[in-house]
């Protein structure tokens, strides 16, 4: 068996059954980790865990279990941590990935309650998972990786609620890094740009010209393509296993989407395709009617 970079470490991934969370799971299982995958879709979660365990068995290292968890529910998160400890006895890394990007619309069309619900899903869930996991992460001097978004720093058209939650995640990460440094716990965030996920494909399928829609989405990056979920997973693995002098840092993985000048308005009006800059940025999992 080859020397694996995160062998025997216990890693919890919220929203780990699809999108970026699944990409993280695939990379960490190849690194020999013991994964705890949570989402609120039992069948999808169990199917992903089954495929992860096939990889683990083939390489002779690592494992994966599924625990149902709706991160909107505080008690579900508490039970997730308790069950992970009951099964493995330790936690080395928590990846707070679960979240959702609502449809684009102006602030006038968002209700206050919709904003509160998104805050609970995207932000409060990260606070809760971190709070409940930290007593165990302090014992192992482990680390937390919070999934933010490129738009937390550059903004996004008709996405005030989402951008606010992601900006708060980046700020929360830095504040928690300060508090946990004396305990040897590192806390970092990752800010993806356009990463090809099920939510991106859904947007492509619904477009009047799917081929043109995808082409323009790819052209938003200097590298001329969208990122892959495995690329975000590899960044998270590097942060967890090798970037041991890194804490409180937001790691942007965007293909250069935020760099350089570009036409953004015409006669004072935003271009109609402006939303293409992020039809799926930060959309860790496909969540039209479900929550990871």
What is the pLDDT tens value at each position of the chain, 292 positions in all? 568 999 999 999 999 999 999 999 999 999 999 999 999 999 999 999 999 999 999 999 999 999 999 999 999 999 999 999 999 999 999 999 999 999 999 999 999 999 999 999 999 999 999 999 999 999 999 999 999 999 999 999 999 999 999 999 999 999 999 999 999 999 999 999 999 998 899 989 999 999 999 999 999 999 999 999 999 999 999 999 999 999 999 999 999 999 998 777 766 665 544 444 444 444 444 333 233 4
Structure tokens at 156: 């996004």
Return d(Cα 67, Cα 83) in angstroms, integer.
Answer: 8
Predicted local distance difference test score (pLDDT) of residue 1: 54
Signed CA dihedral, 159, 162, 166, 171: sign only: positive
**Cα(238)–Cα(244) distance, integer angstroms:** 9
The dihedral through the CA atoms of 147, 21, 202, 259 has a sign that is positive
Residue 158: per-residue pLDDT:
96
Can you give the pLDDT at residue 2? Answer: 62
Contacts of 239 (CB under 8 A, 6+ apart): 143, 145, 188, 190, 246, 251
Q: Which of 81, 61, 90, 63 is nearest to 14 (CA)?
A: 81
Domain 10-278 has CATH 3.40.50.720: yes
Closest alpha carbon to 130 in 121, 143, 117, 118: 143
- Report how far apart the first and last C-alpha atoms of the chain are (Å, whole number): 33
Q: How many Cα atoms within 13 Å fall on the side-chain side of residue 109?
A: 7
pLDDT, residue 128, reads: 98
Block residue for tokens 């933010």: 148
Q: How much is the pTM?
A: 0.93
Residue 13 pairs in a beta bridge with: 37, 95
Give the residue numbers marked as catalytic.
162
* CA gap 147, 45 in Å, rounded: 19
Q: Cα separation of 50 and 47, whole Å?
A: 5
What sections of 107-222 are H helices per DSSP? 112-119, 125-140, 151-154, 160-180, 198-206, 210-219
φ, ψ dihedrals at 255, nearest 5°: 65, 20
Q: What is the pLDDT of residue 265?
A: 74
């Amino acid at each position: 068996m080859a020397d694996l970079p995160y062998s025997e470490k216990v890693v919890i991934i919220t929203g780990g059954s699809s999108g970026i969370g699944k990409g993280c799971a695939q990379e960490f299982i190849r690194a020999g980790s013991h994964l705890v995958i949570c989402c609120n879709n039992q069948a999808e979660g169990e199917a992903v865990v089954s495929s992860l365990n096939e990889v683990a068995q083939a390489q002779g290292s690592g494992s994966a279990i599924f625990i149902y968890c709706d991160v909107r529910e505080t008690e579900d998160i508490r039970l997730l941590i308790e069950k992970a400890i009951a099964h493995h006895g330790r936690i080395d890394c928590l990846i707070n990935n679960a979240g959702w990007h609502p449809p684009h619309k102006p602030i006038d069309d968002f209700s206050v309650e919709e904003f509160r619900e998104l805050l609970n899903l995207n932000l409060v869930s990260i606070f809760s998972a971190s709070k409940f996991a930290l007593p165990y992460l302090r014992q192992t001097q482990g680390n937390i990786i919070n999934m933010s978004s490129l738009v937390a720093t550059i903004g996004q058209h008709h996405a005030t609620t989402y951008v606010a939650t992601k900006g708060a995640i980046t700020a929360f990460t830095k504040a928690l890094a300060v508090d946990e440094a004396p305990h040897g716990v590192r806390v970092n965030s990752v800010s993806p740009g356009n990463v090809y996920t099920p939510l991106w494909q859904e947007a492509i399928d619904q477009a009047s010209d799917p081929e043109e829609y995808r082409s323009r989405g790819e052209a938003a990056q200097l590298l001329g393509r969208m990122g892959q979920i495995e690329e975000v997973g590899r960044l998270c693995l590097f942060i967890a296993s090798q970037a041991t002098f890194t804490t409180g840092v937001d790691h942007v993985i965007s293909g250069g989407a935020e760099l350089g000048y570009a036409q953004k308005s015409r006669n004072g009006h935003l271009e109609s395709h402006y939303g293409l800059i992020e039809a799926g940025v930060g959309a860790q999992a496909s969540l039209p009617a479900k929550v990871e």
